[in-house]
């Protein structure tokens, strides 16, 4: 077959021109048959016309036949064509595998690099997808919104609803179809029969409307009815599918039975389906809030909300309507708390309603963080792709002769391009699979060890969309790393003559590789500077004076159900005996109990503070103080210094009515930095409440967050003596114990003390205080770690890329260098000239990288602490690191250049 | 025509064609002639059915075709057995022989009494 013919049949194949030839062949075949038959019959003496008739009759329906036969043939051809294509691809891939196995170093390097890039990108994508992109598991989730308030006047954002605002909006807002509010807490849950198996369970108290808003029905049983949600209604509970299976053995008869929740028998009215999470996967049971719409417990803005917009209503329209409705809250509920009018609160706080899509509301601040991590992973993917493109170019150089020969002996440009493409496909395919496995492992590790405060993280897994992403990333890489060599072949840049002459052909590539290296350096600088910024924030955060000593302190929580410890004195007595028991555990130095552990979210309680004489001023809401109940040797255990006055007495002898304040509170209300002047002063927690006397002032502590000023905290004593009927007492408290040994070894012993006192009580959230401090910065630590890993990889890849191009440049210019040295250039000068190119490339890359960083730094801002986004140390460090790497990468090749022996190189040609 | 030949020959036509081709490549006309001559026209096959069967055999990969020159120097499409076609012929003729044998025994059977 001549070349022209193959080309024509090729063209025919491509444009499916085969169809016409199929019909022509069928016609030819039928004609041949008829003609032969006619000739035979005529030979037997029949006339031509009768022979023709007979032949046609014997044949049958000619027209139908033509169609049928052509259809069969077309089918066959199509299949053959596909088979051929598959064969050709399989053959190409086999060739590629063979070729790659011949250069294992390149293959391993390329696969390892691509695997890291694809794996990291895929892992991050699965998190971004699971947390940010997937629709929430509720009916018509696009219509769901969260409604909250910003209070710029007092510097608060994202303040949830109050009962009063909820009832007003529920009854009057027309842009909203339905709205529910909730409050996430914890409860001790056990089967009625076995109170000793109680578990501490995340519990969401919610209005009966909530499940209607979400549009999710129970798997079994019924959702809450309005009648369940009234004050004094029969106690009911909805349970999750997970707790139904794990704690109640998956027994369907649980519906209708009562379980014990904090000592109250609550009838299980339904089981929510698997995959239903609200507000997060941690919540295992739901209980009606039972708010009284006439006289709601108006305490503060405590309840997050979720609402369903009417179709056609936008979040903005809803926010506008809620603003208009806000004055009616004061009309309907004139008193916010006894002694403070709602109007005064509104004037003080100026709440501005905000309505945002629920997904945005639940993912909140993590979105920025995740996109940042995604950007780092994207850059990593780019860098690995660039790096492999670079490696392929080197390999392509080495094989230029081979490819040129192939082309010359008629392999044809498309054939050579296919050859390059199939190698890239094999590399990317293998790396894609490995990358997927890596991503799976990374996601598992992330879900297990990642920061606990990422919403929806439990829903993250590797499934089809993730596989699709990995495949796309792999394809992107495959295209990326074969594009440049393929383009070169396509442009006819290779040829025997060119390669035989050496040198010139490679300059084009050399330039391309220069660009690639500069790009790598740029990405490295950006990622490195970003991770430096976060690392410095992390350092600053950990350098913050805590105000307490977290080392060698073990903590755990225990909660006393009101039903079992009805008398407040019982609760205080329990904690008092617990403190004594724990103190007797060997290895325990001192022990205290507290309603709130520093840097933990549990038990945070902010309240107004009225110094004596100011409580009549209902126009002004005093600054909120962090109220904490403590007992035992709390201050001594956490080493919070008493700066004036005294600490509380032991719980048995401590009197009610005393309080200890932090130095900051003393400063705030009595302008007293020494604390001495505050001693003996009195205050109220409510305008009409009892008076407390300040008996001590203690040092400030970072009670709620590391990133901010210390909290102003007011401590109340746990009191056993019955000397007041109206006092409040904390039932959920943490034990803090200072240990001489490792707190982890003492922890089981001190937890046992609680169970010995009351075996029905679960202990929970056991942690060392140092662990609490670490957990409070877990998110930053995590992002820092991710970025630092990305930075390290890009740095190494950048260095390797730079070294590669420098070494290659020296090889290319060996002759030129030889001549220069022969002409009297000093080896030193030659080395400097060689290194200069590497440094110039790096400098260009660094400049671009700094610009990239300046653009990207705004996105890290929310994560930073004590560092400006343009922190010179971070940027300078990144630039210095890159220049140092560049110097190192240039050093070897430059030295080699200086050692070139002119006589040898000149003889070589 | 008492019975449509297609009906009669369904399943066996393939075997006949494969058998015809077992002595070497032939064009469609030769196959048609050979079947009708050998069976002394007892197996009257409509040509349309024969060609359809041939093309289907080709689609199944049991025969392959090539254009060549006929005895009279005309362009003709020649069919020949593939290896798979040969195996199919063996299997199919065994099956048909067993079938014919069974059929023959039944048709020639004497009166049957339960033992």
Contact call for residues A777 and A542 (beta carbons, < 8 A): yes
- What's the rounded Cα separation, in Å, for the pair B102 and B96? 10
Half-sphere exposure (Cβ direction) of A729: Cα atoms closer than 13 Å? 30
User: Averaged over A324-348, what is the pLDDT?
Assistant: 82
Q: How many angstroms separate the CA atoms of A302 and A731, rounded?
A: 19
Number of inter-chain CB pairs under 8 A, A vs B: 63
Q: Provide the pLDDT for residue B6.
A: 45
Residue A471, both tokens? 């495949």
Q: Chain A: nearest CA to B102, how far in angstroms?
A: 33
> Across the strands, what pairs with A692?
A683
Tens-place pLDDT, residues B15-48: 889 999 998 999 999 999 888 888 766 666 788 9
Residue A252, token pair as written in the block = 């369907």
CB contact under 8 A, B59 and A76: yes
DSSP state at residue A203: E
pLDDT tens digit string along A803-861? 877 777 777 777 778 888 888 888 888 888 878 878 888 899 999 999 988 888 877 77
Closest-CA residue of chain B to A31: B76
**Nearest Cβ partner of B52 from A37, A40, A69?**
A69
CB contact under 8 A, A59 and B77: no
With CB atoms and an 8 Å threshold, state whether B55 touches A73: yes
Cβ contact B46–A60 (<8 Å): yes
CB within 8 Å: B77 and A29: yes
Cα A534 from Cα A773, distance rounded (Å): 18
Q: Is A64 on the interface with B (CB under 8 A)?
A: yes
- Return d(Cα A735, Cα A898) in angstroms, integer: 71
Q: Which of B4, B48, B54, B82 has the highest number of chain A CBs within 10 A, making it the mutation to test binding with A?
A: B48
Which residue among B29, B58, B67 sits closest to A33, beta carbon to beta carbon? B29
For residue A398, the SS3 value is helix
Residues pairing with A626 in the sheet? A606, A713
Q: What is the DSSP string of A839-861?
A: HHHHHHHHHHHHHHHHHHGGGTG
- Decide if B59 and A36 are in contact by the 8 Å CB cutoff: no
pLDDT in tens, A420-440: 888 888 999 999 999 999 988
By Cβ distance, the residue of A40, A65, A75 closest to B59 is: A75
> Positive or negative CA dihedral for A392, A393, A399, A403?
positive
Predicted model pTM: 0.70
- Reported as a single tens digit per residue, the pLDDT across A227-236 is 999 988 999 9
State how far the Cα of A727 lies from the Cα of A739, in Å rounded to an integer. Answer: 32
Q: Per residue in A561-597, is it b (16+ CB within 10 Å) or e — as a string?
A: beebbeebeebbbbbbbbbebbbebebbebbbbbbbb
Residue of A nearest to B79 (CA): A29
pLDDT at A651 (0 to 100): 86
Q: A902 or A42: whose pLDDT is higher?
A: A42
A88 vs A459, higher pLDDT:
A88
How many Cα atoms sit within 13 Å of A423 on the Cβ side? 28
Question: What's the residue count for chain A?
Answer: 909
pLDDT digits (tens, 9 = 90+) for A536-587: 988 888 888 999 999 999 999 998 888 888 777 888 889 999 999 999 999 9
Contact A65 B75 (CB under 8 A): no
B58 contact residues in A (CB cutoff 8 A): 72-73, 76
Of B47, B76, B77, the CB nearest to A60: B47
Conformational region of residue A173, where left means phi above 0, alpha means psi within -120 to 50, and beta covers everything else:
beta
Which of A61, A64, A72 lies at the smallest CB-CB distance from B56?
Answer: A72
Query: Has residue A503 got a pLDDT over 60?
Result: no
B60: distance to nearest CA of chain A, Å?
Answer: 8
Distances (CA, A) of A833 to A809, A813, A837, A846, A898: 12, 12, 7, 20, 10
Report the distance separating Cα B5 and Cα A60, nearest Å: 12
- pLDDT given for residue B2 in this prediction: 40
Cβ-based contacts of B14 with chain A (< 8 Å): none
Q: Which residue has the higher pLDDT, B10 or A212?
A: A212
Assess contact for A556 and A763: CB atoms under 8 A. yes
A338 compared with A656, residue with greater pLDDT: A656
Distance CA A509, CA A817 (A): 20
The CB density around residue A333, as the number of other CB atoms within 10 Å, is 21
With a cut of 60, say whether residue A630 has pLDDT above it: yes
| pLDDT on residue A905 | 67
- Measured CA to CA, the distance from residue B16 to residue B34 in angstroms comes to 10
Query: Could you tell me if residue A140 is left (phi over 0), alpha (psi between -120 and 50 degrees) or otherwise beta?
Result: left
Query: Distance (Å) from the C-alpha of residue B44 to the closest C-alpha of chain A?
Result: 9
Identify whether the C-beta of residue A714 lies closer than 8 Å to the C-beta of residue A705.
Answer: no
Chain A residues whose beta carbon lies within 8 Å of the beta carbon of residue B47: 33, 58-60
Which among A60, A61, A76 is the nearest to B58, CB-wise?
A76
A21–chain B Cβ distance below 8 A for any pair: no
Q: Is the pLDDT of residue A724 over 70?
A: no
pLDDT for residue A85 is more than 80 = yes
Question: CB of A391 within 8 A of CB of A100?
Answer: no
Which secondary-structure segment (H or E) carries A334?
A: none
Who contacts A139 (Cβ-Cβ below 8 Å, separation ≥6)?
A214, A215, A216
pLDDT, chain A, mean:
84
Greater confidence (A485 vs A652) lies with A652
CA–CA separation, A429 and A121 (whole Å): 15
């Amino acid at each position: 077959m001549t070349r022209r013919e193959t080309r024509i049949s090729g063209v025919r194949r491509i444009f499916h021109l085969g169809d016409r030839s199929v019909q022509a062949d069928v016609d030819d075949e039928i004609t041949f048959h008829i003609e032969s038959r006619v000739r035979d019959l005529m030979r037997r003496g029949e006339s031509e016309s009768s022979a023709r008739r007979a032949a046609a009759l014997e044949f049958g329906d000619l027209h139908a036949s033509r169609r049928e036969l052509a259809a069969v043939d077309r089918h066959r051809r199509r299949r053959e064509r596909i088979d051929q294509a598959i064969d050709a691809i399989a053959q190409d891939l086999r060739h590629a595998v063979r070729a790659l196995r011949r250069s294992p170093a390149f293959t391993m390097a390329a696969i390892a690099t691509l695997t890291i890039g694809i794996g990291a990108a895929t892992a991050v994508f699965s998190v971004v997808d699971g947390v940010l992109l997937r629709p929430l598991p509720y009916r018509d989730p696009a219509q769901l919104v969260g409604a909250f308030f910003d209070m710029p006047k007092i510097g608060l954002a994202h303040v949830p609803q109050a009962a009063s605002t909820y009832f007003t909006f529920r009854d009057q807002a027309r842009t909203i179809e339905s709205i529910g509010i909730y409050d996430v807490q914890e409860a001790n849950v056990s089967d009625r029969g076995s109170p000793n198996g109680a578990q501490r369970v995340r519990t969401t108290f919610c209005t009966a409307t909530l499940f209607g808003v979400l549009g999710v029905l129970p798997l079994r049983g019924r959702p809450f009815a309005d009648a369940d949600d009234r004050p004094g209604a029969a106690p009911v509970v909805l349970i999750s599918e997970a707790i139904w299976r794990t704690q109640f053995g998956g027994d369907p008869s649980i519906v209708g039975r009562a379980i014990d929740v904090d000592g109250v028998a609550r009838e299980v009215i339904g089981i929510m389906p698997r995959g239903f999470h609200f507000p997060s996967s941690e919540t295992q049971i739901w209980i009606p809030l039972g708010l009284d719409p006439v006289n709601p417990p108006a305490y503060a803005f405590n309840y997050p909300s979720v609402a369903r917009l009417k179709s056609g209503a936008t979040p903005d329209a809803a926010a506008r309507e809620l603003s208009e409705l806000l004055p009616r809250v004061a009309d309907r509920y004139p008193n916010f708390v006894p002694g403070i009018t709602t109007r005064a609160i509104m004037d003080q706080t100026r709440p501005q309603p905000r309505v945002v899509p629920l997904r945005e509301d639940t993912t909140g601040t993590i979105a920025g963080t995740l996109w940042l991590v995604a950007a780092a992973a994207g850059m990593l993917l780019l860098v690995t792709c660039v790096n492999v493109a670079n490696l392929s170019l080197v390999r392509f150089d080495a094989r230029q002769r081979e490819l040129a020969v192939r082309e010359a002996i008629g392999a044809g440009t498309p054939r050579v391009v296919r050859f390059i493409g199939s190698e890239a496909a094999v590399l990317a395919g293998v790396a894609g699979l490995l990358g997927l496995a890596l991503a799976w492992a990374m996601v598992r590790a992330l879900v297990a060890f990642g920061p606990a405060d990422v919403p929806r993280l439990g829903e993250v897994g590797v499934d089809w969309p993730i596989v699709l992403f990995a495949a796309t990333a792999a394809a992107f890489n495959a295209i990326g790393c074969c594009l440049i060599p393929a383009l070169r072949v396509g442009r006819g840049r290779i040829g025997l003559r060119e390669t035989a002459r050496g040198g010139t052909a490679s300059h084009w590539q050399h330039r391309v590789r220069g660009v690639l290296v500069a790009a790598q350096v740029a990405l490295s600088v950006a990622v490195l500077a970003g991770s430096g910024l976060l690392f410095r924030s992390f350092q600053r955060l950990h350098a913050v004076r805590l105000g307490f000593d977290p080392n060698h302190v073990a903590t755990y929580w225990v909660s006393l159900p009101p039903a079992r410890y009805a008398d407040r004195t019982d609760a205080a007595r329990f904690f008092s005996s617990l403190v004594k028991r724990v103190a007797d555990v060997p290895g325990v130095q001192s022990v205290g109990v507290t309603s709130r552990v520093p840097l933990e979210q549990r038990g945070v309680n902010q309240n107004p503070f009225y110094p004596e004489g100011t409580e009549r001023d209902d126009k002004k809401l005093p600054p909120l103080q962090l109220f904490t109940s403590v007992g035992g040797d709390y201050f001594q255990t956490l080493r919070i210094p008493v700066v004036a006055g005294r600490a509380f007495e032991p719980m048995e002898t401590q009197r009610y009515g005393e309080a200890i304040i932090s130095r900051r509170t003393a400063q705030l209300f009595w302008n007293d930095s020494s604390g001495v002047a505050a001693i003996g002063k009195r205050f109220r927690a409510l305008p009409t409440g009892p008076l407390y006397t300040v008996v001590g002032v203690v040092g400030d502590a970072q009670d709620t967050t590391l990133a901010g000023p210390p909290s102003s905290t007011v401590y109340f004593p746990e009191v056993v003596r019955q000397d007041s009927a109206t006092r409040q007492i904390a039932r959920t408290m943490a034990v803090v114990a200072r240990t001489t040994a490792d707190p982890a070894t003492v922890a089981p012993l001190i937890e046992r003390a609680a169970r010995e006192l009351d075996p029905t009580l679960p202990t929970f959230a056991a942690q060392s205080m140092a662990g609490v401090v670490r957990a409070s910065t877990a998110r930053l630590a995590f992002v820092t770690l991710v970025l630092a890993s990305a930075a390290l990889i890009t740095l190494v890849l950048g260095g390797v890329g730079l070294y590669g191009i420098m070494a290659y440049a020296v090889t290319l210019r060996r002759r030129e260098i030889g001549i220069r040295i022969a002409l009297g250039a000093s080896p030193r000068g030659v080395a400097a000239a060689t290194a200069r190119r590497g440094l110039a490339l790096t400098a260009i890359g660094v400049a671009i990288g700094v610009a990239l960083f300046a653009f990207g730094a705004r996105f890290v801002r929310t994560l930073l602490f004590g560092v400006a986004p343009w922190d010179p140390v971070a940027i300078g460090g990144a630039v210095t690191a890159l220049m140092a790497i560049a110097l190192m990468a240039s050093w070897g090749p430059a030295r080699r250049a200086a050692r070139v022996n002119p006589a040898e190189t000149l003889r070589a040609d | 025509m008492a019975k449509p030949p297609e009906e009669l020959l369904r399943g066996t036509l393939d075997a006949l064609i494969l058998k015809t081709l077992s002595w070497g490549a032939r064009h469609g006309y030769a196959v048609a002639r050979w079947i009708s001559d050998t069976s002394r026209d007892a197996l009257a096959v409509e040509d349309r059915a024969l060609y359809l069967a041939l093309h289907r055999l080709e689609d199944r990969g049991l025969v392959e075709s090539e254009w060549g020159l006929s005895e009279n120097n005309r362009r003709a499409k020649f069919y020949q057995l593939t290896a798979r076609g040969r195996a199919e012929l063996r299997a199919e003729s065994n099956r048909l022989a067993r079938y014919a044998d069974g059929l023959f025994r039944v048709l020639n059977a004497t009166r049957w009494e339960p033992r």
